[in-house]
């Protein structure tokens, strides 16, 4: 019933082009209606903020790891190329010595 009264009050103010801020009243109503504990809501918001920061940190670390993986694969390919070249040079040296 209190919610309906607030809505009617808000509607009448809007029709009369009055700037009426009922946010505090609605907040109090919903705190009572849904038995919201102010401290718990703030704690949950802080916890969510912490979780978001952890997710961002994990994403940054993941990107660094992926970049390092790409560099590692490049180095592995370079090493394989050098190894093949070394084998080819050794074979050429053997042929020259024979």
Domain-located, residue 27: yes
CA distance 93 to 87: 10
The DSSP call for residue 36 is: -
The answer to pTM > 0.85 is no
Output the pLDDT for position 17. 75
Domain-located, residue 2: yes
- Are residues 42 and 72 in contact, defined by beta-carbon separation less than 8 angstroms? no
Domain-located, residue 57: no
Tokens read off for 20:
């009426």
9-53, pLDDT tens digit by residue?
777 777 777 777 777 777 777 777 777 676 777 787 888 899 999
Domain-located, residue 72: no
Tokens read off for 48:
């969510």
The residue segments making up the domain with residue 6 are 1-36
Domain-located, residue 30: yes
Q: Which helix (H) or strand (E) holds 37?
A: none
């Amino acid at each position: 019933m209190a919610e309906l009264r607030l809505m009617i009050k808000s509607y009448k103010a809007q029709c009369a082009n009055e700037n009426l801020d009922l946010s505090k009243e609605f907040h109090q109503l919903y705190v009572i209606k849904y038995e919201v504990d102010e401290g718990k809501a703030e704690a949950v918001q802080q916890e969510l903020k912490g979780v978001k920061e952890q997710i961002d940190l994990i994403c940054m670390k993941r990107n660094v790891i992926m970049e390092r993986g790409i560099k590692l694969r490049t180095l592995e390919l370079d090493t394989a190329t050098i190894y093949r070249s070394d084998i080819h040079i050794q074979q050429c040296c053997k042929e020259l010595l024979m």
